[in-house]
């Protein structure tokens, strides 16, 4: 009986995850979820799992650099969408802020992941504005809210180097 309840609970959580992304193209969901792997590897290496110190630091470094690349990519996406119409010139200028945060994170090594997390939140806010202007696909925020939440949480945990 307990086993059936666990299966049912697992099935319900899987269905709710499916409903969360039901409007998002499957290839976009897959690419987005796979994109979490480098950050997860960096975070997992911070736990005491027998990884030697040099490998641990290398995985953390890769996770942070990768996060900066993804942040810059996302910033470029909103820059492009913002550039398509003149009345979005303010958003165009704001879209540069995440790239600057990624650069600042290089200068402030003890705060890198926190600064990058802030950059992802800035991108999300720009995306919210663009979505309100009907400049993004209808499904966009259904993907971006949960993905940004997960990335920000992972980066914060990575920043504390558990």
Tens-digit pLDDT profile for residues 17-48 = 556 788 899 999 999 999 999 999 999 998 88
Q: What is the pLDDT of residue 74?
A: 96
Q: Is residue 123 part of a domain?
A: yes
Q: What is the pLDDT of residue 139?
A: 95
**98-124 CB burial, b ≥16 within 10 A, e <16:** bbebbeebeeeeeebbbbbbbbbebbb
Range of the domain at 59: 25-160
Confidence of residue 11 (pLDDT cuts 50, 70, 90): very low
Q: Is residue 66 part of a domain?
A: yes
Residue 119 near residue 97, CB atoms below 8 Å: yes
What average pLDDT does range 113-120 have in this prediction? 96
Q: What is the pLDDT of residue 87?
A: 82
Q: Is residue 130 part of a domain?
A: yes
Q: What is the pLDDT of residue 105?
A: 92
Q: Which pTM does this prediction carry?
A: 0.84
Helix axis angle, 37-44 to 53-83, nearest 10°? 150
What average pLDDT does range 107-120 have in this prediction? 93
Convert the pLDDT of each residue in 64-109 to its tens digit.
999 999 999 999 999 999 999 888 889 999 999 999 999 999 998 8
Radius of gyration of the chain (CA): 18
DSSP 3-state of 139: coil
Q: How far apart are the C-alpha atoms of 140 and 138, rounded to whole Å?
A: 6
Q: Is residue 8 part of a domain?
A: no
Number of folded domains in the chain?
Answer: 1
Q: Is residue 131 part of a domain?
A: yes
Q: What rounded mean pLDDT belongs to the chain?
A: 88
Percentage helix, strand, coil for the chain under 3-state DSSP, each rounded to 5: 80, 0, 20
Output the CA angle 99-147-117, nearest 5 degrees: 40
> Per-residue pLDDT for 142 more than 80?
yes
């Amino acid at each position: 009986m307990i086993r059936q309840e666990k299966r049912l609970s697992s099935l319900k959580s899987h269905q709710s995850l499916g409903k969360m992304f039901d409007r998002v193209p499957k290839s976009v969901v897959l690419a987005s979820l796979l994109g979490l792997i480098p950050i997860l590897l960096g975070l997992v290496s911070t736990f005491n799992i027998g990884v030697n110190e040099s490998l641990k630091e290398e995985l953390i470094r890769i996770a942070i650099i990768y996060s900066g690349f993804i942040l810059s990519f996302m910033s470029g996406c909103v820059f492009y969408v913002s550039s398509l119409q003149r009345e979005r010139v303010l958003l165009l200028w704001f879209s540069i802020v995440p790239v600057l945060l990624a650069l600042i994170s290089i200068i402030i090594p003890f705060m890198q992941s926190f600064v990058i997390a802030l950059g992802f939140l800035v991108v999300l806010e720009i995306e919210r504005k663009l979505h309100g202007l009907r400049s993004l696909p209808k499904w966009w925020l259904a993907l971006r809210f949960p993905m940004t939440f997960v990335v920000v949480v992972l980066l914060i945990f990575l920043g504390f180097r558990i």
